[in-house]
Amino acid sequence: MNREQARQRATELVDQMDLSEMISQLRYDAPAIERLNIPEYNWWNEGLHGVARAGTATSFPQSIGLGATFDKELMKEVGDVVSTEARAKYNEFSKHEDRDIYKGLTYWSPNINLFRDPRWGRGQETYGEDPVLIKDMAIPFIEGLQGDGDGYKVAACAKHFAVHSGPEALRHSFDAKANKKDLFETYLPQFEACVKEGKVEAVMGAYNRVNGDPACAHDYLMNDILRGEWGFEGHYVSDCWALRDFHENHRVTKTIEDSAALALKTGCDLNCGCTYLALEKAVKSGKVSKDYVRESAIRLFTVRFMLGLFDGSEYDDIPYEKVECPEHLKVAARASAECVVMLKNDGILPLSKDKAKKIGVIGPNADSRKAPVGNYHGTSSINVTLIDGIRAAFPDSQILYSEGTDIFEEKPDNLARPYNRLSEAKIVTEHSDVVFLCLGLDENLEGEEGDTGNQFASGDKIDLRYPEVQCRLMDEVLATAKEKGVPVVLLSMTGSAMDMSVADRDANAILQVWYPGAGGAKEVGEILSGKIDPSGKLPVTVYKTTSDLPEFTDYSMKGRTYRYIETTPLYPFGYGLTYSDIKLTEADVVSGGSFEKASDEGMVIKVKAENFSDIKGTQVVQVYVKNEDSNETLHPHLAAFERITVDPKSTSEVEIKVPAWSFTTVDDEGVRAVRGSKAKVFVGCGQPDDRTKELLDLKIFEFNI
């Protein structure tokens, strides 16, 4: 059922309701209306990287890891797996009349906020720090979720609209200040693309204010931009209990009735929370018209009809056996393999068997089942820890293990003295041929406000350092290894960029494995052994120190991300090593070879890549654009990318389409347009900067148009 048909049916149904019944349907936990044969429905579901909080499901790498794959085709497959398992669960839950939370078909994913500051705990839920990367990963994911028919397989939701990326501790009262250039150059493009190109059904507002107005009642953003300029036809949902903040924290209203009226009049259709319980009183007191209630109810029932909740759907026959089935696990394994980013390798990797007779595995994340899944996760029946993955990849090696320390703070084993495991870690290092040092965080140390109970500011990091006990462990292991001549490989399991300066100086290799999914450590082990060639690229900048960052609460983009950074990063956005030796040998402009044509029709570039190694490998070809004579980002910005796989001692070609949008710029008034008359276009396997060339020894093709 298409939107026009669904809206007609929704209108007919809503017009049979009285005011109280209509209002009841604007809550996330909408009750049944028995006289109209409307069952209860709970709108709240999560599916960032697999169906979450609804029992067993296929576990994918956390979103930041998916961003590191730079794989658009994979993202559609991931979305399709999530929606298939969502339908399989819904079909069975509804047969059992179980319509509780996390069991519906409206999924509050993906999170397309920009990861502007690596201290933000929820940055792990995003695809990275670049609008083009975010939109190009989010759109196919949304398509996989919503399906290819007129109706929806599940309904996706782009969140959190729009200027939102911490700090978590202040989010209920914080006012994010963004000028118009930053707004339309950085914070809004991915939302616009997901609305216009991805046809996402829902948009969720953020907790914070944006330039003074609450994001869930922001007339300019919600009406002038979202529904006006972009033509959004779907429904708008509040973040959970965000409307309560209007009167309790933001103080833009005085009463709960005022908050409910303000949100509804501005266009917030669905309330995750309880504020809309006050809507009937607000209507009867004249604070908001019944017409607004009716319109929001129609929008919400339009979705329910498009999902086939009343007339049936082509997806009603998806069986429960699709949940965590073999073909879905294969997609998850592929994602886990592609997400790992090799940041340093002096030649120790892949680890040969003659150097792996005794392998030391050290660190608090070595045997953790919590860390690999990140936050907003489901339950997996397959859990592989890093030590499991290493043991499976090196079955003939002796594994020497030491936890070394707790992940966060050393806990005493008794009241008399602390339990210090550093001695054991040093002993393991001394007796090993190689050490895999498994450090990092987990969902308790970085995540969302309210989900954590530690020193890290309600889910955010206070700086870029590993927890102090882990820093001490790393220092001891690296010092012992240096003394004994033992190579050390750092496996960093986090959802964000860390300060890796010590490891960059003293470790032999570094792998950023993110949160690779419940079973993803198997693929990490296979990368270490050389069975899999690493192909992930950094979706974020790895800064040298926290001092390189502006104040966390400053939403200006000056000095932030690879586009505006004013210092030299430790590892740049788009960077990642491989075992294979793939180089771009030719790059030619097929069409759009002048600025006029490129800015009007876009550009097509054909690239030839040659693999000089004996290893089948994959590279990510990246295109960056720099407008030469207008108000533009400080550095060239990502315009397009494609993955290319090349057999050993072979060549392969790929065409990359660079959209005309890439040649526009945003002025200080927020107006995006074609300006100037010339641009530079760079093609390579990384950024066109000195740091990338130095680290990767890359040839960057440059076209002046």
- Token pair listed for 9: 């049916």
Which residue in the block uniquely carries the two structure tokens 């090349």? Answer: 646
Residue 691 and residue 570: Cα distance in Å, rounded? 8
Strand, coil or helix: what is 523? helix
pLDDT at 418 over 60: no
Mean of pLDDT over the chain: 96
**3 state SS of 591:** strand
The residue ranges of DSSP E strands in 485-616, in sequence order, are: 488-493, 509-512, 582-591, 603-611
Residue numbers annotated as active site: 239
Question: What is the C-alpha to C-alpha distance for residues 111 and 206, in angstroms, rounded to an integer?
Answer: 11
**DSSP one-letter string for 207-239:** SSEETTEEGGG-HIIIIIIIIIIS---SEEEPP
Helices (H), 101-243: 131-146, 180-182, 189-196, 219
Ranges in the chain annotated CATH 3.40.50.1700: 331-564
User: By 3-state DSSP, what share of the chain in percent is helix, strand and coil, each rounded to 5?
Assistant: 35, 20, 45
Q: Where in the chain is the domain with CATH 2.60.40.10?
A: 582-704
Q: How confident is the model at residue 411 (pLDDT cuts 50, 70, 90)?
A: low
> Which pLDDT band holds residue 412 (cuts at 50, 70, 90)?
low
Q: 582-704, superfamily in CATH?
A: Immunoglobulins (2.60.40.10)
What pLDDT does 599 receive? 96
**pLDDT (0 to 100) of residue 540:** 98
Give 446-503 pLDDT, tens digit per residue: 999 976 544 455 899 999 999 999 999 999 999 999 999 999 999 999 999 999 999 9
The H or E element containing residue 265 is: helix 256-266
pLDDT at 518: 98
Instruction: Identify the three-state secondary structure at position 604.
Output: strand
The arithmetic mean of pLDDT across residues 130-158, rounded, is: 97
Q: Which amino acid is present at 425?
A: A
pLDDT of residue 473: 97
CATH architecture of 331-564: 3-Layer(aba) Sandwich (3.40)
Q: What is the pLDDT of residues 37-76, one digit of tens each?
A: 999 999 999 999 999 999 999 999 999 999 999 999 999 9
pLDDT of residue 457: 59
Look at residue 293 and tell me whether its pLDDT is greater than 60.
yes
Asked whether the beta carbons of 25 and 174 are under 8 A apart, the reply is no
CB 649 within 8 A of CB 611: yes
The pLDDT of residue 450: 76
High-pLDDT (> 90) share of the chain, %: 94
Question: CB atoms < 10 A from the CB of 231, how many?
Answer: 9
Residues 340-374 have pLDDT tens digits of: 999 999 999 999 988 899 999 999 999 999 999 99
* 504-533: pLDDT as tens digits: 999 999 999 999 999 999 999 999 999 999
Report pLDDT digits (tens) over 296-332. 999 999 999 999 999 999 999 999 999 999 999 999 9
DSSP conformation class of 59: P
Q: Report the distance separating Cα 656 and Cα 576, nearest Å.
A: 20
Q: In whole angstroms, give the CA distance from residue 49 to residue 318.
A: 20
